[in-house]
Structure 1
Amino acid sequence: MRALIAPDSFKGCLDAAGVATAIAAGVRAAAPAAEICCLPLADGGEGTLEVLTGVGGFQRREREVSGPLGRPLRASYAVSGATAVVELAAASGLTLLSEQVLDPRRSSTFGTGELLLAAARELPPGGRVLLCIGGSATNDAGTGLLRALGVRFLDIEGDPLPEGGAALARLAHIDLSGVAPEVRQLSIEVACDVTCPLVGPQGASAVFGPQKGASPPVVAELDCALTHFADVVQRQFGVALHDLPGAGAAGGTAGGLHALLGTRLRPGAELVAQASGLTRRLETEVWDLVWTGEGSLDRQSAHGKVVSCVAALAARHGFPVIALAGQVSPGILEAVPGLTAAFALADRPLSLAESRVRAAELLTRQAEHLTRLYGCARPGGPER
């Protein structure tokens, strides 16, 4: 038996490598002679850097940068040859702030820009940066990041705006003349884990503002500020961001970078699958079973998440795909094309706390049982 194991993390419980290891243990228990390949994945959000530094020869670099509210912190990026990986969550992430200090009116992506600039200075001309932008604490349309790269955001008097999304309501002009030469020579690909537009009821402020500490009045204020930002961008550069799918990712960071630096927006899971070698291995090798999983399989799993990416890639070559998850919503097989079967982990009613403690054990047990069942259905019967 040849098994390819490519899961996402179970957030708050196991990282993607831990999930893959647990599934592999179950497959090995049922089929001791199995050939197993573990390729932990991520969708461009928090944990993507960790996944990619485990493959492809990426080496970590650490720098002191500005946190979401300006306090210094240590954050990492990674480099391999002419490619660098920068994770927004490392410098501007939601997990870096306590609930008591969350403030999307003032929080900034400036520290992520500092990481990107440091990476750019290590790369040769024409180098490539994979910018993973999930998990932000910000709503500034990436203006902090861009400011760190040399872009100036000016009010009607010609003075620089302060950091944060609320200040964008006073934006009058954007000056790109100071962008660092190293950055101009880069190819930057933005890994997005959501497809929301920049503004409106499904936009960055309305959908993600509350989890970043925005009350309803602040959500309205931030949405107006992003709308004004998009108006200025369209007037000055002719790029329409308001309804662009994916522009609202990371508080509008995806939209800001696309409009002002011409960055390419890509589904994060697809980008990581390619960088990790998953796409190549599915195209060039034969697998009996492909395993994937994430903490919760629901309708969101169908939109740019790891499970849907793995299922789609494997289905092109006719490989069966099994997904394991803490919980599985009804209709998931219809929602995720290419998914053969999906199973929840619980072996009895469990609290969330107990589910987290037992996650590795339950993954291993479920993988073992399913591998045994698959073995019984194979020509020649179960593997001994």
Structure 2
Amino acid sequence: MKIVIASDSYKGSLSAWQVGTIAQRAIRKVFPEAEVEIVPMADGGEGTMETIVQAASGSLIDLTATGPLGEVTAARYGVLRTHTNTPTARDEQGVSHTAIIEVANIAGLTMVPEVVRNPEQTTTYGVGEVMLHALNQGCRKFIVGLGGSATNDGGMGLLQALGAVFRDASGNPVPPVGGALSAVTSVELDFIDARVWDCDIRVASDVDNPLCGDSGSSVVFGPQKGATPDQVKRLEAGLVNYAARIEAVTEKPLQNTPGAGAAGGLGFAFLLLNAELAPGAKLVGDAVGLEEKVRGADFVLTGEGQSDFQTLFGKVPYYVAQVAAKHGAKAILVSGGLGRGVESLYDHFVSLHSIVTRPMTLQEAMEDAETQLSFTVENIARLLNAR
């Protein structure tokens, strides 16, 4: 029997790798001879970088960069090294270097204390600095997870760090923050590091919002990042001005592209850099070789912290279930909890399980997640064994 464990993390409790190892031990209590493979998964948000690096045996690079409030902060990115025949993407030894960047640990909302959250004052400048560092290390492929940003600067900070120049009516450089977007009157993109245009940039985003409008980044996500109603109006006006100035120069109508509004408009900036925006779970799955590892499996166990009707909106378990079905494997869902509308998942999973085995608070469930998960997975294995 072959079983693949391809779970997202149980956020705040267990990493994707921990979920996999706990479930693997529990399965082997019942099926000691079974082939049980762990394929940790993520969706582009927090934990994406470490998940991919660990699954693909990559390495982590530590550095300092500009944080969301303009402060110098510790940052890191991952590097994967693979052999390739593509001349533009390899070094002298024929090795391709892929950088894994997670916006959440460079310009993330959790990096900003709640009492000072203000997307008019936050920046993506550090994301550009990390890209430059990776370029200097020989990376020409990038996988970027956009989830969890604190920003609404349209990616102006990113572009400035890469060399772009934005000026106001007096000819002065515009600060790389969301509140300065309305001041932009001229855009100079010719100074962007030339190496960027030779890169393969893939961006993980499950957001299909445009940059501006009622479903744009300011209106939909600004309040979640601390914006007041008045600030939302100013941020929206700033993005409208900023996008119009850029599109006048590039003649590329990008602001209405699905995903342009991701991460406070950072998606728009990456589209400008010719990046490909893709669903986070699929992008991570491709990076860790999910399809190849699922091929030949009898069962695929997947899960997340909480599953409900929203799981069908591109979340990790839904994507894993699709891959399992494609290769004839049966998908089993094991999550921290099951919520509203979860019965809609029966079309994609043979069974749905919450690891909570008795009445308890959320805090108790999170603290006891390892024991609860192990018990639940062992019970599932015993049921399989009784077929």
Q: Does structure 2 retain, via aligned residues, the 8 Å contact 1:193–1:268?
A: yes
Q: Using the alignment, how far apart are the partners of 2:255 and 2:129 within structure 1? A: 27
Tell me the equivalent position of 1:205: 218
Q: How does 1:2-21 map to 2 (within 5 A)?
A: 2-21=2-21
- CA drift of 1:32 comes to 2.4
Q: Using the alignment, how far apart are the partners of 1:294 and 1:310 within structure 2? A: 11
Matched, 1:122 2:144: no
Q: Using the alignment, how far apart are the partners of 1:261 and 1:336 within structure 2? A: 40
**Residues 363 and 251 from structure 1, CA distance in 2 versus in 1: closer, same or farther, beyond 3 angstroms?**
same
- CA drift of 1:336 comes to 8.1
Q: Does structure 2 retain, via aligned residues, the 8 Å contact 1:109–1:145?
A: yes
Q: Does structure 2 retain, via aligned residues, the 8 Å contact 1:4–1:287?
A: yes
**Residues 233 and 181 from structure 1, CA distance in 2 versus in 1: closer, same or farther, beyond 3 angstroms?**
closer
Where in structure 2 are there 5+ consecutive unaligned residues? 82-95
Matched, 1:276 2:288: yes
User: Which string of whole-angstrom CA distances, capped at 9 and with x for unpartnered residues, describes residues 13-57 of structure 1?
Assistant: 111111112222221223222211011111111111111121323
- CA drift of 1:317 comes to 1.4
Q: Using the alignment, how far apart are the partners of 2:13 and 2:298 within structure 1? A: 28
Q: Does structure 1 retain, via aligned residues, the 8 Å contact 2:302–2:333?
A: yes
Q: Using the alignment, how far apart are the partners of 2:6 and 2:201 within structure 1? A: 25
TM-score (norm: length of structure 1): 0.92
Q: Does structure 2 retain, via aligned residues, the 8 Å contact 1:135–1:250?
A: yes
Q: 2:154 aligns with which of 118, 138, 141?
A: 141
Q: 2:102 aligns with which of 79, 87, 100?
A: 87
**Aligned to 1:65, what secondary structure does the other structure show?**
strand
Where in structure 1 are there 5+ consecutive unaligned residues? 378-384
Q: Using the alignment, how far apart are the partners of 2:346 and 2:78 within structure 1? A: 32
Q: 2:375 aligns with which of 356, 361, 365?
A: 365
Q: Using the alignment, how far apart are the partners of 1:92 and 1:19 within structure 2? A: 27
- CA drift of 1:128 comes to 0.8
- CA drift of 1:224 comes to 2.3
The aligned amino acid for 1:281 is: K
Tell me the equivalent position of 2:115: 100
Q: Using the alignment, how far apart are the partners of 1:373 and 1:224 within structure 2? A: 58
Q: Does structure 2 retain, via aligned residues, the 8 Å contact 1:314–1:338?
A: no
- CA drift of 1:375 comes to 2.1
Q: Does structure 1 retain, via aligned residues, the 8 Å contact 2:174–2:184?
A: yes
Q: Does structure 2 retain, via aligned residues, the 8 Å contact 1:311–1:337?
A: no
User: Which string of whole-angstrom CA distances, capped at 9 and with x for unpartnered residues, describes residues 100-154 of structure 1?
Assistant: 2212101001111101111011226xx2111111111111111111111001122
- CA drift of 1:325 comes to 1.5
Q: How does 1:215-294 map to 2 (within 5 A)?
A: 215-258=228-271, 260-282=272-294, 285-294=295-304
User: Which string of whole-angstrom CA distances, capped at 9 and with x for unpartnered residues, describes residues 264-302 of structure 1?
Assistant: 1111111111111112222xx311110111111123322
Q: Does structure 1 retain, via aligned residues, the 8 Å contact 2:346–2:352?
A: no
Q: Does structure 1 retain, via aligned residues, the 8 Å contact 2:2–2:298?
A: yes
**Aligned to 1:224, what secondary structure does the other structure show?**
helix
Q: Using the alignment, how far apart are the partners of 1:256 and 1:103 within structure 2? A: 21
Q: Using the alignment, how far apart are the partners of 2:286 and 2:219 within structure 1? A: 32
Tell me the equivalent position of 1:310: 320
The aligned amino acid for 1:341 is: S
The aligned amino acid for 1:270 is: K
Q: Using the alignment, how far apart are the partners of 1:303 and 1:172 within structure 2? A: 39
Q: Does structure 2 retain, via aligned residues, the 8 Å contact 1:312–1:337?
A: no
Q: Does structure 2 retain, via aligned residues, the 8 Å contact 1:204–1:248?
A: yes
User: Which string of whole-angstrom CA distances, capped at 9 and with x for unpartnered residues, describes residues 145-183 of structure 1?
Assistant: 111100112223332211211211222222111111222
Tell me the equivalent position of 2:86: none
User: Which string of whole-angstrom CA distances, capped at 9 and with x for unpartnered residues, describes residues 164-216 of structure 1?
Assistant: 11211222222111111222221111111322222233322222222211122
- CA drift of 1:337 comes to 5.8
**Residues 335 and 245 from structure 1, CA distance in 2 versus in 1: closer, same or farther, beyond 3 angstroms?**
farther
Q: Using the alignment, how far apart are the partners of 1:248 and 1:333 within structure 2? A: 31
TM-score (norm: length of structure 2): 0.91
Matched, 1:111 2:114: no
Q: Using the alignment, how far apart are the partners of 1:189 and 1:171 within structure 2? A: 28
Q: Cα RMSD between the aligned structures?
A: 1.8
Tell me the equivalent position of 2:85: none
Tell me the equivalent position of 1:380: none
Q: Using the alignment, how far apart are the partners of 1:220 and 1:341 within structure 2? A: 46
**Residues 152 and 335 from structure 1, CA distance in 2 versus in 1: closer, same or farther, beyond 3 angstroms?**
farther
Q: Using the alignment, how far apart are the partners of 2:347 and 2:187 within structure 1? A: 43
Tell me the equivalent position of 2:191: 178
Q: When the two structures are aligned, how many residues end up with a matched partner? A: 372
Q: 1:188 aligns with which of 181, 201, 204?
A: 201
Q: Using the alignment, how far apart are the partners of 2:371 and 2:214 within structure 1? A: 41
- CA drift of 1:333 comes to 5.2
Stretch moving more, 272-281 or 216-225: 216-225
Matched, 1:352 2:331: no
Q: Does structure 2 retain, via aligned residues, the 8 Å contact 1:210–1:219?
A: yes
Q: Does structure 1 retain, via aligned residues, the 8 Å contact 2:182–2:242?
A: yes
**Residues 20 and 188 from structure 1, CA distance in 2 versus in 1: closer, same or farther, beyond 3 angstroms?**
same
Q: Using the alignment, how far apart are the partners of 2:64 and 2:234 within structure 1? A: 32
The aligned amino acid for 1:40 is: P
Moved over 4 A (4+): none
**Aligned to 1:294, what secondary structure does the other structure show?**
coil
The aligned amino acid for 1:70 is: G
